[in-house]
Structure 1
């Protein structure tokens, strides 16, 4: 099997893309050429490899998914997210719509012209066909999350490239979700298991986890949006959550498990994100490989080495995310406790995932030969060369707004140049979280479910599992959560932080109360704090001029920019607007609420 990261680049030019509204302006594909294109195993493989270009990746510049969660309450950024602040307009969904349907068109081109003779359809060829079903499901799911009810692109629409032919009605969101699950079931039946290609290709187990995520998303969306303008026409939350359990029960028989090798608690978790080769970690069901030798690399380590949280400007991880993590003994923290004014105390005795996700005392930004480990103490001339504080005094995108930098994914062997750390795309841990949540929402939570989900996840990082109890300091969603659901939502945030899940979770949970009128805050930076006292006097002046604090001395960096907090429109912003050009072309489409 040729290396995907090579073939993906070569295959990118196989087919011109177009959005729905571009069909009439596009030169048609010549049928003789297309009709002979996908008739052999090598042709099929090369074409499918091109679809991998559409999966998440680290950019050659920037941080990619590591900084994406400035669209949530996990990162606060100087260049804040416009959707959170209610500043999207009727054209804001155009790029997402176009990208989704471009990628679906490419998949459906494959199905339309696939013509491998039956006697040549061996297991490898059929598995490649299964990958196509996976990609069609993946992009429909992407569009479902953004737009809700959408036209399902289940065929090659070029055959309908007239105005009349493109009057394709949207299907209700629950029907879209069912179609996605059908495609993933087809994929599951055809795909090789993860072991065949060590997770470098789409596989059976990855498709099953995606199916669980789809069913969980739709089931919880239908439950929590049942009485607002985003409700499905028929509430089938029980059906979809039951699908999570069904898929999970099958997946649990696959022999896949969490990666647990490491000397210290948290080592195994960290290794999932700071390693160059994930082939031996079967928890990582699907991942993207990088190799300088093959010309596939990124800049994530270089940015993390500089303390950058968002390449578009100053940013920082929020205090809200830091407060989410338990103590290592499984007990809640009280974020109002005075001890947390001490930056170093914030990390002592906590869930090791916090230690591996956020830079803290003793952690390295990169190789010890190129960067000092973080170290705070009261500044003096004699100590200046040993202190390495969060970059509150820095300029540009290296400046921290909160005192909390990203540690997740830092490669401590990295010195300089291009970066090669791998990117996990789908992990088995996602399945455990989905199963736990579905079981709790269905009233099926029991010791057996806890044993194979939350206990497994916490056991991997040596956090003691304590039977769920009410946490008075847990974020208020505006509706009652059982202690079990509190703990599942906490666990999900801790396990999946900075991996691109948080916005989707807030949307499906109807999490407006955590957004509207809120803005991310940071660490305690009062005059008496070790964080502030670690800076030399001239830099203390600089910090005071540039970083606003709340009345109690905690970083409140956007208080001047967003004095009223984010102005998310809860009656509108849960979905993106259908692009006006698509409404003009396809008269059967209906605009999303309030757009």
Structure 2
């Protein structure tokens, strides 16, 4: 994270010295594979944040000339990342005798993620050479999909299967989890349910609106085209929707089941308890029994899921112009079926919400599925960056529908005057940033796809230079 290079140094020290070990070549290679894996992941993060970065493949000391070198072009760096992740796949074992270590399948999942990112970034930012990475994404994803090692977690309970992935104490035997971080009482714990319950942010209307509606004829449509959608009440908005919505965002009617309270939700700013500035309350990762453990919670954290690989695969195929009905059925439609959603076809209805973006409706629906299925898994921001869709961050941030009659309701008597609303198509919604200086934020297309190089870094090495606009 940030301009921190400690992990890289550890990887390079191991890769320089591992052959000195007096052990079997195959065993040495397993350890080298781990170093290649983490060096690839490290540089993915650096390129995502800073673009051009110095590429260093050996341990340095205070006399190394590389300390004062200029940055290397992102293409050169990412080509090195691709070589590293291929080495990781070649060297890592299919499994270890101990749990919690990356294996060759985890490396394939990382390669799938890396190559989708770089391929689409190059395409939408007009950098050229995008197809090489998109094809590599397809290849890595296909290897995982055909390995027989992983499948989507499902028990036919569409109202809970999705959320179970994020509130399980042991993901080691879950067929969908390619890699996770384990938490164990007395060893390593967390407070995730506490963070979720007390968060100072909330899901937005724009996010909630992207959940499709289930129609009476068995199809699924965007809210703008739906015959079953209604937001005339705060509860009605959750009716006839993608079942994942109620597993990610609290349906006010589920308060007692989820939070074991009867105080009345939503809780807005000014009301006692855990208020949400949007009126929507996140419940993905939340478990009441874990909440009681405070900082001693021990649900595992998914890091790579098979669902992501399936969605990487179909996006790469679609961007390449190669997606077939069979491709849909072995990837995105498996994800949709798990949640009780109808299949996607090659010619979906165009959502008016995205009509001005000039995108193929199939691409829109694949992106929608990523936003829904992979939400709050630290992928959305970089998805927007690689799609060159930073302008989406300029949107007005809205919350729940909140009419004057709602404010007059005794239930909301304590709502702060700072909670402002704005009118959209004759309906009033919470205007989340109405009183904030962030209301006037502006994503700069020439600047904000990359972060600035820290000033203290440039002062030590002027050759590093600064990113455009900073």
Q: CA deviation at 1:247?
A: 1.4
Query: Displacement of 1:225 after TM fit?
Result: 1.3
**Partner residue, 1:505:** 383
Q: Name the SS of the counterpart of 1:143 in structure 2.
A: helix
Corresponding residue to 1:324 among 210, 214, 217: 210
What is the CA–CA distance in structure 1 between the aligned matches of 2:268 and 2:337, rounded to whole Å?
A: 35
State how far apart, in whole Å, the 2-side matches of 1:473 and 1:153 are.
47
Aligned to 2:44: 141
Mapping of residues 207-356 of structure 1, within 5 Å: 207-226=107-126, 232=127, 235-294=128-187, 296-304=188-196, 307-309=197-199, 314-328=200-214, 329-335=218-224, 339-356=230-247
Post-superposition offset of 1:260: 2.9
Task: Identify if the C-alpha distance between structure 1 residues 157 and 266 changes in structure 2 by more than 3 Å, giving closer, same or farther.
Answer: farther
Q: Deviations over 1:52-110 (max 9, x none)?
A: xxxxxxxxxxxxxxxxxxxxxxxxxxxxxxxxxxxxxxxxxxx701x2x1211122122
What TM-score results when the alignment is normalised by the length of structure 1? Answer: 0.72
Distance in 2 (alpha carbons) for counterparts of 1:416 and 1:364: 20
Matched, 1:474 2:353: yes
Task: Using the TM superposition, give the Cα deviation of residue 131 of structure 1 relative to its aligned residue in structure 2, in angstroms.
Answer: 1.2
Are positions 1:543 and 2:436 aligned together? no
Q: State whether residues 332 and 471 of structure 1, in contact with CA within 8 Å, keep that contact through their aligned partners in structure 2.
A: no
Aligned to 1:186: 87
CA distance in structure 2 between the partners assigned to 1:110 and 1:216 by the alignment: 28
> Does the Cα contact within 8 Å between 2:167 and 2:300 map onto a contact in 1?
yes
Where does residue 495 of structure 1 map in the other structure? 373
Tell me the residue number matched to 2:453. Answer: 578
Distance in 1, matches of 2:220 and 2:258, equals 34
For each residue in 1:187-216, what CA deviation from the matched residue of structure 2 results, as whole angstroms up to 9, or x when unmatched?
A: 111212258656x22111111111111111
The correspondence of residues 446-457 of structure 1 with structure 2, limited to 5 A, is 446-457=324-335
Instruction: Provide the rounded CA distance (Å) in 2 between the counterparts of 1:195 and 1:358.
Output: 37
Match of 1:437 in 2: 315
Distance 1:202 1:330 in 2: 40
Greater relative CO (CA pairs within 8 A, separation 6+): 1
CA distance in structure 2 between the partners assigned to 1:503 and 1:251 by the alignment: 25
Residue 153 (structure 1) aligns with: 56
Q: Which residue of 2 aligns with 1:558?
A: 433
When residues 444 and 336 of structure 1 are mapped into structure 2, their CA distance, relative to the original with a 3 A threshold, is: closer
Residues paired across the two proteins, number? 459
| CA apart distance, 1:471 | 2.6
Contact kept, 8 Å, 1:244 with 1:434, in 2: the verdict is yes
Mapped contact 1:174–1:236 kept (Cα < 8 A)? no
**Distance between the aligned counterparts of 1:364 and 1:255, measured in 2?**
39
Question: 8 Å contact 1:366–1:413 — kept in the other structure?
Answer: no
**Alpha-carbon contact 1:308-1:405 (below 8 Å) kept:** no
Determine if the alignment matches structure 1 residue 108 to structure 2 residue 12.
yes
For normalisation by structure 2, the TM-score amounts to: 0.90
Q: Residue 244 of structure 2: SS of its match in structure 1?
A: helix
Quote the offset at 1:394 in angstroms. Answer: 4.9
Distance 1:334 1:236, change over 3 A: same
2:458–2:465 Cα contact (<8 Å) kept:
yes
Deviation of 1:586 (Å): 3.6
Q: Flag the 1:364–1:116 CA change in 2: closer, same or farther, 3 A.
A: farther
Q: 1-side partners of 2:39 and 2:437: how far apart? A: 40
List alignment gaps of at least 5 residues for structure 2. none
8 Å CA contact 1:127, 1:191 repeated in 2: yes
The SS at the match of 2:421 is coil
2:268 is matched with 392
> Where does 1:353-432 land on structure 2 (aligned, <5 Å)?
353-363=244-254, 371-372=260-261, 386-394=262-270, 398-414=274-290, 415-417=292-294, 418-432=296-310
Task: Indicate how the Cα distance of structure 1 residues 463 and 482 shifts in structure 2: closer, same or farther if over 3 A, else same.
Answer: same
Deviations 1:18-77 (A, max 9, x none): xxxxxxxxxxxxxxxxxxxxxxxxxxxxxxxxxxxxxxxxxxxxxxxxxxxxxxxxxxxx
CA shift at 1:175, angstroms?
A: 1.8
Q: Which runs of 5+ in 1 are unaligned?
A: 1-94, 227-231, 373-385
- 1:17-96, aligned counterparts within 5 Å? 96=2
In the TM superposition, what is the alpha-carbon distance from 1:387 to its structure 2 partner? Answer: 4.9
Aligned match of 2:75 in 174, 178, 182? Answer: 174
